[in-house]
Amino acid sequence: MPDTSLVAIAVSLLYLGSAACIYRILLTYRTTQGAIAWIIGLLGLPYIAVPLFFVFGRSRFGGYVKARRMGDKSLTALLTRFEQHTTSLSMPEQQDLDKQMQVLCKLGRQPFTEGNKCTLLRDGEATFEALITAIENATSYVLLEFYIVRSDKIGQRIKTALEKKLSEGVQVWFLYDDVGSFGLSRRYLNELAKAGAKVASFGDGNIRRLRFQINFRNHRKLLVCDGRIGFIGGINLGDEYMGTVLGQGFWRDTHCRIEGPAVTGLQLAWLEDWNWASNEFPQLDWTPKDRLPGNEQVLVLPTGPADTWETCTLFFLSCINNAQSRIWIASPYFVPDVQVVNALQLAALRGVDVRIMIPEKSDSRLVGLAAYSYLIQASQAGIGIYRYQPGFMHQKVVLVDNHYAAVGTANLDNRSMRLNFEIMAINTSQTFVSDVDAMLTEDLSYCRKMTQEDYQGRSIAFRLTCRAVRLLAPLL
């Protein structure tokens, strides 16, 4: 029989750990529902809840906050120079829109810039061709940051292009997320490093980042060449984004190519992440870029759990609350919290055309089930939920009235709003807005609008499962 004194010590330590977790929750919680759920679990089932809390429980990325503060002087100096050499958005004929943009600038700690040119890339083939062309034309350096990198055909094409540039003396900095790129071979990374690339991950190899956490992922997908051409959107480096992976079928996604001063914003976001991951502060080109004929106004908005506010949540709320005629959101994952749901309902009730586009078949069974649970609330308020039919839709796009559109990495779910590092590019150009309008209008033509019958007509077991899965929304 086990020594009863040892059992008593183990139980005491377990409840002491539970008390420490509750202490941390009370000091840092962001939502009362999540805090209460954790506390009940920690008190009732501490042997399960304590280990889970170390994996899922933290709501702030404290280490990144400290790293940001340590490097804040250098980053602040760069931000100041950026603001001094760019023209902030000024649209006196649309004062309300201008106020919205001022709020978003404060959230992202970056200015709106004029003189940009943005090109929509509507699938993997167009995106990868554009990425590789930009890499091939780079003369000084290439910065990469992707959530998922695979050593498949696409991954090898990118690596080959990078190795060629390295042989020509072009510098390469390669940042990937260690959870998203879990299957990436060590050989792939070693070969890049051997060719001369600087390689770092957003998770291991640094003492200040050692943690039992799968949250706080770097979900950003961006590439910058020479500080002059940048890319942002939903496409990672993998064959599935070409729709060529067996069993996955057609993949619908959107990326964006940016030229002009806004690329500096992408570069600043990358630099902060690289500084956190490697303790290095590379010397890059910060020379102000000439305005381009397109003269599009663009704001780069990085968001993440190290921000003072819930920046991504506030971005979506700002878009929804300020919409006057329509707000269309395309997101593969629709698991919003109550404040976003309420904002969408209010927008629909005041006559705004609210449309949420999600895939018919999700790559996450739980997320797909949770989406059904919002259908009654949505339908009763007049919110349209549209399911994309031809294949898996992975794009992250927001269209507000005819005023501005955003393309990037943020989903309409708790992970993007509170746990992941995301990035969006917001564009007020009528040309770009028209392009996004045409793109989403075509996508919607391939969608099926859901009705209450899609939920109410299913079995009670299905409806109970959907409601139960929705309880897991903070983890999905």
Q: What is the dihedral of CA 356, 357, 361, 366, to 10 degrees?
A: -30
Angle at Cα 144 formed by Cα 407 and Cα 362, nearest 5°?
A: 50
Angle at Cα 207 formed by Cα 202 and Cα 209, nearest 5°?
A: 35
Cα separation, 90 vs 97, in Å, equals 10
Tokens of 288: 């102000």
Angle at Cα 127 formed by Cα 123 and Cα 131, nearest 5°?
A: 170
**Computed over its alpha carbons, how large is the radius of gyration of the chain?**
23
Chain centroid, CA 55 distance in Å? 20
Q: 269-272 — which CB contacts under 8 Å span 24+ positions?
A: 269/220, 269/222, 269/300, 269/302, 269/423, 270/143, 270/145, 270/173, 270/175, 270/222, 270/224, 271/75, 271/78, 272/68, 272/71, 272/75, 272/302
Q: What is the dihedral of CA 166, 74, 146, 319, to 10 degrees?
A: -140
Angle at Cα 387 formed by Cα 383 and Cα 393, nearest 5°?
A: 120
Catalogue the active-site residues: 219, 221, 226, 394, 396, 401
Cα separation, 329 vs 358, in Å, equals 9
Cα separation, 160 vs 136, in Å, equals 10
Q: Helix, strand, or coil here: 230? A: strand
Angle at Cα 243 formed by Cα 238 and Cα 245, nearest 5°?
A: 70
Give the CA count within 13 Å in the CB-facing half-sphere of 443: 32
Contact 185, 158 (CB under 8 A): no
Tell me the residue type at 311.
T
Sign for the CA dihedral angle at 325, 406, 235, 200 comes to negative
Beta strand 141-146 with 171-176 is parallel
Based on DSSP, count helices (H) and strands (E) in the chain, helices before strands: 18, 19
Tokens of 349: 């009730």
